Structure 1
């Protein structure tokens, strides 16, 4: 390591590069899967459930931070982040850190995630090793490697799978030793809500992305598609959520619908506004919606 990770600017650039507003995408699936595990598990060792979930949470957060850092560095190298950027400040593009420093930080975050996950592997063995390895690999391949997913229009599939199905299903399996339909349905909902974030982000940047051949779905199919993609993601989430009226109880199904007005507001604003820096506000709103959705979902299970 020839370049120091902590520079004269201190930790501020690293906090900026970690993109804390997006970390709800890691928090929400762990929260929901933990409460689901509590509901379906016959094991009464609640302290163990909390301990394992906290380890899974911090491991997932460091995977996401590592992915964000590598994305920051590689988007700059490939020209996707430049002086015309509409999104929040990126540390590599703004010169706060070098691409090499940010890449080093990304891989260090991955290493920390692995170390945190060791007790999880000891608890559940090979399935957790596989989940962890694949998550780390695709965290890099999101913008790195010979076939970067974000540049090929596969970012949405990546988010639904890893920040939804894998995150919820993996922690549920860790806690219970099995998978069921409920865990997969919850994972799909969480993944769809997380995908709204990337869809808003890609719609905001679609014109600049086209110039550097970053062919997200928004860049590939245009503004009209991008708007309806966001609408589709929200409609799908709330439609799928009707499943919980049959599966657990009324409150589990009903309470998350209290976030519907915020979803409608986000969609309305996205349809009315042209892509600009105001989309950063919608990005924050969608992250908040996902977190509140998860909290209300969990409360519904507990009080039902």
Structure 2
């Protein structure tokens, strides 16, 4: 291959990587797993509507990706990102992507999600339109607007509830037309683990966030206590699943979530043993992986329990 063609191929591949990284792919499981889990829970009541499942999955992924892009845009506007920023944020300052392009792409993703929402509402309930719009507003105001949610101690709560629990309940509702106590109880550990993704990010960025005036839970507690909170939330999630099994709410098969425990331990140890943001990046990644593996295995356990009950 000629040098010019080789360089062109590398630049093309690099361009794709830049755009892909800007969606922050390690966080997208926070949307995928809850949709899968909510759908798995619905098997007990109704046959799965594949079209609604796919529409909900794509819409959730688009909203999550757009939220990440809003974060990218507003962090740049507020001067929080620079070329030395740790992690996959900072695409605008490092890779030369125009801020307006990032913002327009995020709104474009919202537009596609709205169209999918129309399809979902037409086949379930138009009340979901209001719920969906609230979710999208939270995605924007998480880092946008005059009082960003991410700058407050409530970031973990909002992200956990809207991206963890609510997505599960919506996914369950569009298949069954109702919300049950079981669907709410099973969504609790997902809510906690999605919140932990935000907490891990805030632990890693604690010093930088403090300098920029944020008041996150990690800053208010301090690093040591924030890590204790992280470990406690991991422990709570596993104990909650055990309690669900003992109470007969879920089949014993869901105990396979324990396979994800080594990732939770790795995340906790990674934050304890390291101090620099770049050193804590693997711990943050392990936190996101715990959510992915835990949620996926929980859904698998429910699927197996349904077919072998």
Match of 2:67 in 1: 67
SS of 1:278 mapped into structure 2: helix
CA–CA distance in structure 2, aligned partners of residues 83 and 90 of structure 1: 7
Contact 2:63 2:113 survives alignment (8 Å): yes
Match of 1:30 in 2: 35
CA–CA distance in structure 1, aligned partners of residues 126 and 195 of structure 2: 28
Normalised TM-score (structure 1):
0.90
CA–CA distance in structure 2, aligned partners of residues 84 and 217 of structure 1: 24
In structure 2, relative to structure 1, the CA distance for the partners of 1:147 and 1:78 (3 Å cut) is same
CA–CA distance in structure 2, aligned partners of residues 157 and 167 of structure 1: 14
Structure 1 unaligned spans of 5+: 1-6
Match of 1:201 in 2: 201
Contact 1:203 1:275 survives alignment (8 Å): no
User: What is the CA-CA distance between 1:262 and the residue it aligns to?
Assistant: 2.2
Structure 2 unaligned spans of 5+: 1-10
User: What is the CA-CA distance between 1:251 and the residue it aligns to?
Assistant: 1.0
Match of 1:298 in 2: 299
CA–CA distance in structure 2, aligned partners of residues 164 and 89 of structure 1: 22
CA–CA distance in structure 1, aligned partners of residues 226 and 279 of structure 2: 16
CA–CA distance in structure 1, aligned partners of residues 266 and 18 of structure 2: 32
CA–CA distance in structure 1, aligned partners of residues 285 and 269 of structure 2: 15
CA–CA distance in structure 1, aligned partners of residues 262 and 19 of structure 2: 34
In structure 2, relative to structure 1, the CA distance for the partners of 1:259 and 1:95 (3 Å cut) is closer
Normalised TM-score (structure 2):
0.89
Contact 1:263 1:289 survives alignment (8 Å): yes
Contact 1:74 1:99 survives alignment (8 Å): no
Deviations 1:156-181 (A, max 9, x none): 01111111121111111111111112
User: What is the CA-CA distance between 1:24 and the residue it aligns to?
Assistant: 0.6
CA–CA distance in structure 2, aligned partners of residues 175 and 197 of structure 1: 28
User: What is the CA-CA distance between 1:89 and the residue it aligns to?
Assistant: 4.4
Match of 2:131 in 1: 131
CA–CA distance in structure 1, aligned partners of residues 98 and 21 of structure 2: 14
Match of 1:3 in 2: none
Contact 2:42 2:176 survives alignment (8 Å): yes
User: What is the CA-CA distance between 1:88 and the residue it aligns to?
Assistant: 2.5
CA–CA distance in structure 2, aligned partners of residues 80 and 188 of structure 1: 32
User: What is the CA-CA distance between 1:10 and the residue it aligns to?
Assistant: 4.3
Aligned length: 292
CA–CA distance in structure 2, aligned partners of residues 214 and 84 of structure 1: 19
Contact 1:13 1:96 survives alignment (8 Å): no
CA–CA distance in structure 2, aligned partners of residues 236 and 261 of structure 1: 15
RMSD of the TM alignment (CA)? 1.8
Contact 1:85 1:205 survives alignment (8 Å): no
* In the alignment, structure 1 residue 174 sits paired with structure 2 residue 174: yes
